[in-house]
């Protein structure tokens, strides 16, 4: 429903004093310092909402949320009112609550500031902005790289070193350092350096503008031939890992994906995906790699609910988590992500221009095929799935409440449904699981967990699994 007026208890503040005016292509129009108690006023301020306006909510724990006014109902259900002329207004509560006892999310987050922005200029194409973000995230080294013992990335050179190779595949909106850098100085990293020496590889790849199938094709082209791979992935990197596993040890015309599955892609209008698979079959015949061990961390194996409706939900969550990790405003990646969030809202959440994210929708053709349990293709070796559930955080309390609403109260790590982490391709062996939950668990910080519980588990699995 279109909102034309918005009310919230508080005081208007000078625009020059507003908390954050750094969104590209937006101009601050109004700002309310929210307070449950009005002083010297009989009525709360009323904001007039135009078609080009956007709302920014800033909570007392510094969680921020940028959205079109008509999506406030997702966060604050039941606050619409309609006058006799049919005009809709929205009365914004000063507190956000979610009494979900089952997930230990009982409590409230106070709204601190409401900013009203208007779009001041025409947006740049989403794909161009996403490409700029990927450039800033990946830096100069792209494709297959080597990681030295100091967790520094180096150019990967053709190597005749003995097997096996350990391969890291990073997650969405990230890089090798962004996804795995917190492993440095852990017991797991010490073990990896000792066990693999110079055979530690990583794949630096575009996760927004390219699909998992295109990523897999580009990776396979760069891999040495006839190697044994041990793979550790984070987030969406697990989808690329699943593709590699489907090819590992396969032969014949159904290698990786069956004819029936390729026909399904074709029927869904995914000619590009069909071509990627055909090229993957050709490249695999040349490389003949074998995936011997596969540890997936927080993989959206059957998609993520957060991408079911709106892309901006995903980027709002990412902005908050990346901001905590990088120091926010001083970081160019954070600024580029803000730019992309603005463009996505401006251009109506168009999924097709970001195939890397579209692939993670629960109903996408890629996820449908990947989870086809009647497939003639199956993963031969066991897969280890590391999963997590985020409990109430002190510093991101509002974000946990918002995501709980958007995930329909399911367990999640703020980005991926926990249940989704257990799914994926048909397997010959039972999935091996490790589950962790707590206030120190979220999608971007599995490797920072001070207890290193899953790292200890991974050490054991890397050392003993399949032996």
Calculate the average pLDDT of the chain. Answer: 86
Q: Which domain holds residue 278?
A: 127-305+351-464
- Same domain? For 224 and 98 the reply is no
Residue 242 has pLDDT above 90, yes or no: yes
Between CA 303 and CA 384 the distance in angstroms is 18
**CA 69 – CA 73 distance, rounded (Å):** 9
Domain end: 68, 84, 119, which one? 119
> Quick one: 115 and 135 in the same domain?
no
Q: Is residue 341 part of a domain?
A: no
CATH number where 429 lies: 3.40.50
Q: Is residue 331 part of a domain?
A: no
The answer to whether residues 76 and 219 belong to one domain is: no
What is d(CA 2, CA 51) in angstroms, rounded to the nearest whole number? 9
Final residue before a domain boundary, out of 119, 149, 181: 119
**CB-count exposure of residue 421 (10 Å: 0-12, 13-18, 19+):** buried
Q: Are residues 356 and 374 in the same domain?
A: yes
Q: List, for residues 21-57, the tens digit of each pLDDT value.
A: 567 778 899 999 998 777 666 688 899 999 889 999 9
Element (H, E) at 357: helix 355-358
Distance, in Å, from the CA atom of 385 to the CA atom of 382, rounded to the nearest integer, reads: 10
Provide the number of structural domains found in the chain.
2
Q: Are residues 359 and 423 in the same domain?
A: yes
Looking at the structure, tell me whether residues 152 and 234 fall in a common domain. Answer: yes
Structural domain includes residue 296: yes
Q: Distance between CA 390 and CA 401 in Å, rounded?
A: 11
Using one digit for the tens of pLDDT, what is the confidence trace for 430-444?
888 888 888 888 888
Give the per-residue pLDDT at 41.
60
In a domain, 338, yes or no: no
Domain assignment present for residue 175? The answer is yes
Prior bond to 416 cis, omega within 30?
no
What is the chain's alpha carbon radius of gyration, rounded to the nearest angstrom? 23
d(CA 303, CA 305): 7
CA–CA gap between residue 152 and residue 193 (Å, rounded)? 12
Residues 202 and 251 in one domain: yes
How confident is the model over 59-79, as pLDDT tens digits? 998 899 999 998 898 888 877
**pLDDT exceeds cutoff 50 at 91:** yes
> Could you tell me if residue 65 is inside a domain?
yes
Angle at 161 between CA 159 and CA 165, to 5 degrees: 90
User: What is the per-residue pLDDT for 452?
Assistant: 47
Same structural domain, 280 and 299: yes
Most confident of 142-146, 254-258, 323-327: 142-146
Please tell me the predicted confidence (pLDDT) of residue 453: 54
158 pLDDT tier (thresholds 50, 70, 90): low
- Together in a domain, 236 and 370: yes
Last residue within a domain, chosen from 66, 88, 119: 119
Helix, strand, coil percentages (3-state) for the chain, rounded to 5, are 35, 25, 40
* Separation of alpha carbons 79 and 57, rounded Å: 16
State whether 109 and 141 are in the same domain. no
d(CA 148, CA 143): 16
> Is the model's pLDDT at 205 over the cut of 80?
yes
Does one domain contain both 53 and 169? Answer: no
What pLDDT sits at residue 92?
92
Domain check: are 159 and 246 in the same one?
yes
d(C-alpha 410, C-alpha 307), whole Å: 15
- Determine, yes or no, domain membership for 319: no
CB 56 within 8 A of CB 20: yes
In angstroms, rounded to a whole number, what is the distance separating the alpha carbons of residues 333 and 251? 42
**What pLDDT is recorded for position 464?**
53
Evaluate whether residue 318 is within a structural domain: no
Q: 375: Cβ–Cβ under 8 A, 6 or more apart, which residues?
A: 258, 261, 369, 425, 426
């Amino acid at each position: 429903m279109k909102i034309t007026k918005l009310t919230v208890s508080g005081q208007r503040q000078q625009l020059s004093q507003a908390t954050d005016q750094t969104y590209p292509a937006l101009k601050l129009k109004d700002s309310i310092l929210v307070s449950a108690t009005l002083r010297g006023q009989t009525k709360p301020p009323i904001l007039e909402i135009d078609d080009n306006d956007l709302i920014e909510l800033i909570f007392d724990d510094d969680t921020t949320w940028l959205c079109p006014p008509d999506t406030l109902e997702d966060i604050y259900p039941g606050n619409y009112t309609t006058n006799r002329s049919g005009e809709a207004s929205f009365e914004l509560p000063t507190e956000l609550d979610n009494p979900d006892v089952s997930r230990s999310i009982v409590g409230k987050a106070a709204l601190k500031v409401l900013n009203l922005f208007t779009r001041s200029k025409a947006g740049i194409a989403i794909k161009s902005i996403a490409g700029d973000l990927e450039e800033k995230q990946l830096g100069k080294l792209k494709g297959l790289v080597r990681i030295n013992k100091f967790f520094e990335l180096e150019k990967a050179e053709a190597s005749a070193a003995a097997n096996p190779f350990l391969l890291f595949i990073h997650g969405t909106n990230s890089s090798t350092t962004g996804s795995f850098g917190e492993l440095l100085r852990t017991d797991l990293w010490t073990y990896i350096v000792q066990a693999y020496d110079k055979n530690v590889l990583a794949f630096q790849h575009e996760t927004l503008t390219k699909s998992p199938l295109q990523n897999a094709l580009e990776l396979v082209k760069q891999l040495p031939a006839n190697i044994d791979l041990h793979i550790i992935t984070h987030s969406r990197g697990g989808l690329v890992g699943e593709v590699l596993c489907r090819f590992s040890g396969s032969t014949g015309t159904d290698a990786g994906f069956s004819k029936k599955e390729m026909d399904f892609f074709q029927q869904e209008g995914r000619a590009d995906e069909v071509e990627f698979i055909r090229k993957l079959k050709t490249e695999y015949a040349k490389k003949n790699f074998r995936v011997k061990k596969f540890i997936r961390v927080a993989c959206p194996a059957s998609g993520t609910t957060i991408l079911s409706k709106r892309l901006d939900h995903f980027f709002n969550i990412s902005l908050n988590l990346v901001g905590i990790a990088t120091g926010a405003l001083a970081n160019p990646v954070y600024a580029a992500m803000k730019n992309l969030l603005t463009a996505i809202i401006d251009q109506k959440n168009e999924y097709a221009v970001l195939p890397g994210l579209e692939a993670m929708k629960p109903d996408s053709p890629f996820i449908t095929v990947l989870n086809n349990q009647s497939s003639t293709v199956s993963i031969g070796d066991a897969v280890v799935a590391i999963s997590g559930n985020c409990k109430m955080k002190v510093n991101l309390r509002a974000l946990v409440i918002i995501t709980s609403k958007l995930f329909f109260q399911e367990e999640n790590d703020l980005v991926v449904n926990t249940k989704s982490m257990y799914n994926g391709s048909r397997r010959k062996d039972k999935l091996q699981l490790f589950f962790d939950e707590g206030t120190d668990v979220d999608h971007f910080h599995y490797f920072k967990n001070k207890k290193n519980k899953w790292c200890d588990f991974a050490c054991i699995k890397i050392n003993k699994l399949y032996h």
